[in-house]
Structure 1
Amino acid sequence: MILVTGATGTVGAQVVRLLAERGERVRAMTRHPEAARLPAEIVRGDFDDRASLDAAVAGADAVFLLDAPGPWIERHDLAVLDAVRSHGVGKVVKVSAIGTGENAELRTGAWHLPGERALRAEDTAWTILRPSSFATNTLQWASFIRANRPVANLTGTGAQGVIDPLDVAEVAVTALTTPDHAGRTYTLTGPELLSAPDQTEILGKVLGRPVEIVDVPLEVAKQQMIAAGRDPEFAEGAMRGQRFIAQGGNARLTDDVAAVLGRAPRTYQSWAADHRAAFA
Structure 2
Amino acid sequence: MLVIMILITGATGTVGHHVLELLSTDPLRREPLRAISRQPDRISVAGVDAVAADLDDPPTLAAATEGVRAVFLATAPGPTIPDHDLALITAAVRAGVTKIVKLSAIGTTPESDQPDLGSHAPAGWHAPGERALAGADTLRWVSLRPASFASNALSWADDIRAGRPVINTTGNGAMPVIDPADIAAVAVRALLDDRLDGTALTLTGPAPISVPEQVAVLADLLGRRIPVTDLTSEESRRHYLDQGWPTAVAEEIVGSQLAVREGRHARPTAAVAEVLGRPGADFAGWAARNRSAFTG
What's 1:109 paired with?
Answer: 123
Report the equivalent of 1:250. 265
Give 5+ residue unaligned stretches, structure 2.
Answer: none
How far apart are the structure 1 equivalents of 2:42 and 2:245?
A: 24
Distance 2:194 2:120 in 1: 32
Query: Which residue matches 2:52?
Result: 44
Aligned equivalent of 1:2, options 6, 10, 13: 6
Q: Structure 1 vs Structure 2: percent identity of aligned residues? A: 45
Residue type at the aligned position of 1:160: M
Assess if the C-alpha contact under 8 Å between 1:104 and 1:110 holds in 2.
no
Once the two structures are superposed, what CA deviation does each residue of 1:4-25 show, in whole Å capped at 9, x if it has no partner? 1111000001100100012642
Cα deviation, residue 230, structure 1: 2.8
* Structure 2 letter corresponding to 1:219: E
- Aligned CA distance change for structure 1 residues 264 and 35 (closer, same or farther; 3 Å): closer
- Separation of aligned partners in 2, 1:180 and 1:266: 24
Instruction: Please report how far the alpha carbon of residue 55 of structure 1 lies from its aligned counterpart in structure 2 after TM superposition.
Output: 0.8
- Is the counterpart of residue 204 in structure 1 residue 219 in structure 2? yes
SS at match of 1:180: helix
Taking the aligned partners of 2:124 and 2:172, their CA distance within structure 1 comes to 25
State the one-letter code of the partner of 1:106: H
**Partner residue of 2:237 out of 217, 222, 226:** 222
Amino acid paired to 2:34 = R
Which deviates the most, 37-46 or 267-276? Answer: 37-46
Say what the alpha-carbon RMSD is for the aligned residues: 1.4
User: 1:35 — aligned with what?
Assistant: 42
The answer to whether the 8 Å contact 1:57/1:83 transfers is yes
- Is 2:93 the counterpart of 1:78? no
TM-score calculated relative to the size of structure 2? 0.91
Structure 1 portions without partners, runs of 5+ = none
Q: TM-score, normalised by structure 1?
A: 0.96
Equivalent positions of 1:1-280 (< 5 A) are: 1-22=5-26, 24=29, 25-39=32-46, 40-101=48-109, 104-122=118-136, 123-280=138-295
Residue pair 1:6, 1:30 contacting (<8 A) in 2 also: yes
Give how far 1:75 is off: 1.0
SS of equivalent to 1:98:
coil
**Matched positions, count:** 280
Deviations 1:3-56 (A, max 9, x none): 011110000011001000126421111111233333321111111111000011
Deviation of the 1:105 alpha carbon: 2.6
Residues 171 and 231, structure 2, Cα contact 8 Å, conserved in 1: no
Contact 2:121 2:252 in 1 (8 A): yes
C-alpha contact (below 8 Å) 2:12/2:42 kept by paired residues = no
Give the secondary structure class of the aligned counterpart of 2:35. Answer: strand
C-alpha contact 1:67 1:73 (8 A) present in aligned 2 = yes
Which letter maps to 1:209? Answer: R
Q: How many Å apart are 1:107 and its aligned residue?
A: 2.4
Task: State the distance in 2 between where 1:207 and 1:227 align.
Answer: 30
Amino acid at match of 1:276: R
Does the Cα contact within 8 Å between 1:13 and 1:38 map onto a contact in 2?
A: no
